[in-house]
Amino acid sequence: MFTLTRLRNWYSGVKVAPVINGEKQHVAVLAFPFGTHAAPLLSLVRRIAAEAPNVQFAFFSTSQANAKLFPGSSNHDEFLPNIKHYNIQDGLPENHVPSGNPLEPIILFINAMQINYKNVMDAVAAATGKNFTCLVTDAFFWFGADLAEEMNAKWVPLWTAGPHSLLTHVYTDLIRDNYVKEDHVEKNFDFLPGFPELRACDLPEMIIDDDIKGPFGTMLHKMGLQLPRATAVAINSFDTVHKPIGNELKSRFKLLLNVGPFILTTPQSMVPDEHGCIAWLNQQENLSVVYISFGSIVVPPPHELTALAEALEECGFPFIWAFRGNPESLPNGFVERTKTQGKIVAWAPQFEILKHPSIGVCLTHSGWNSVLDCIVGGVPMISRPFFGDQRLNARMLEGVWEIGLGLDNGVLTKESTMNVLKSTMSTEKGKIMRDKILKLKESALEAVETNGTSAINFNTLIQIVTS
């Protein structure tokens, strides 16, 4: 794995001598401060900045988000002194009383972000005497196209999810024009170039539902319209993941750069193995363990947690459960009864676990980062998607790549969970899924090798951003 320690050594000249001059270059990095957006953008920028020590990077985000990414007191990144961070306003009105709606801070941020970024960027350009030569932004920031043009700079948006969800945003108007509610309940979107397997029920929110005119829906729609203006669109994926979609995106953008999987191409901070997961896995048989994680945002509702716990207990497979909720919501006595069968931990070193030969299947929310972790780990998946691109990823896993299974009606019931667990762990079908994901894993590893497509794309990206 590409760790931050390795990055530090690299920067201090242990690995390569930097080849880029770039005293005149000034790169603005505009992060979306919610969910798992800012961290991968920073990883990408650290990798670029390490190769271009004379280029200055200004990282803009809210003070709350910056405090998490840059824990020290300095306004320099602790690993790379050529990255400085600056706070922009969070968009909350003064004396704001929160309504309790978790989306409210995001909406208020979105409503004010364009002007808030511009103000601080102008101040930083004036204070440093260096105009920005490139804007590297979260892909959400559709206004990057005009802002870059106005500043006579390049625009390089990063899409942190997968290519197929990006395609649905690029083709939002096409989908809205061709979607017929009565016809498309079960029928595939055979009109969608590159992705005829898609169904209405797989779509991310805000493409065809009621919220399309809200701030978030408007942002996504404008993003799809503006991305073709970008100098290059970077994405945490690899060329061979699904060629039809990749080719479709390439036909829409000036340049599409698959530079992932980030877990292999950008510096990662190590999650400490506080609960001894790896030592425990070392004692399990190969392909015997179920790994469970629903990501850092959602906890399934109590009746689904109960169903999953009962299914695990009845099937008897060893398990590691990265459990972010309140253990009280698990059935009475479950933790005690499964003490030797499984491990329930608050935080787990996910990638290290997925690479372990004892893991047989991963039960996942199907967020894109987790899907990539499983691909690189060679572990088939069972999907319990919740929101955003997760249903779409689940559809790809089951219907296109055939490296995962869904649950009946997409939710965890005891019976359905037991069926898919047994099917992936102990049947020919499970073996075929494993063989398929190992092929995909191989092509991901090839992509990041010297002269692999992601490696070459990364060099192109570094050139564009720093020259």
Ligand X SMILES: *[C@@H]1O[C@H](CO)[C@@H](O)[C@H](O)[C@H]1NC(C)=O
Catalytic option among 77, 90, 138, 389: 138
Q: Which is nearer to ligand X, 103 or 120 (CB)?
A: 120
Of 26, 37, 85, 242, the catalytic one is 37
In the complex, residue closest to ligand X by CB: 357
283 binds ligand X (CB under 6 A): no
User: Which positions from 114 to 153 touch ligand X by CB under 6 A, shown as an x/- string?
Assistant: ---------------x-x----------------------
In the complex, least distance from residue 287 CB atom to ligand X, rounded to whole angstroms: 8
Name the minimum Å distance from CB 359 to ligand X.
11
Minimum CB distance to ligand X smaller for 396 or for 448: 448
Closer residue to ligand X in complex, CB, 18/357: 357
**Pick from 64, 286, 459, 463: which binds ligand X (CB under 6 A)?**
286
Whether 209 sits among the annotated catalytic residues: the reply is: no
Query: Total residues at the site for ligand X (CB under 6 A)?
Result: 6
Is-contact 122 107, C-beta < 8 A?
no
Q: Going by C-beta distance under 8 Å and a sequence separation of 6 or more, which residues neighbour residue 285?
A: 358
Residue with smaller CB distance to ligand X, 65 or 151: 151
Q: Which residue has the tokens 């499983």?
A: 374
Interaction with ligand X in 437-456: which residues (CB under 6 A)? 450-451
Sites for ligand X among residues 335-394 (CB under 6 A): 357
What is Dmax (Cα atoms) for the chain?
Answer: 66
Q: Nearest 5°: CA angle at 188, between 163 and 172?
A: 50
Decide whether 283 or 451 has the Cβ nearer to ligand X: 451
Residue closer to ligand X, measured from CB, 74 or 286 = 286
Q: How far apart are CA 415 and CA 308, in angstroms?
A: 9
Q: Which is nearer to ligand X, 211 or 446 (CB)?
A: 446
Task: Establish whether 169 is a catalytic residue.
Answer: no
Active site positions, annotated: 37, 138
Chain residues that interact with ligand X, rule: CB under 6 A? 129, 131, 286, 357, 450-451
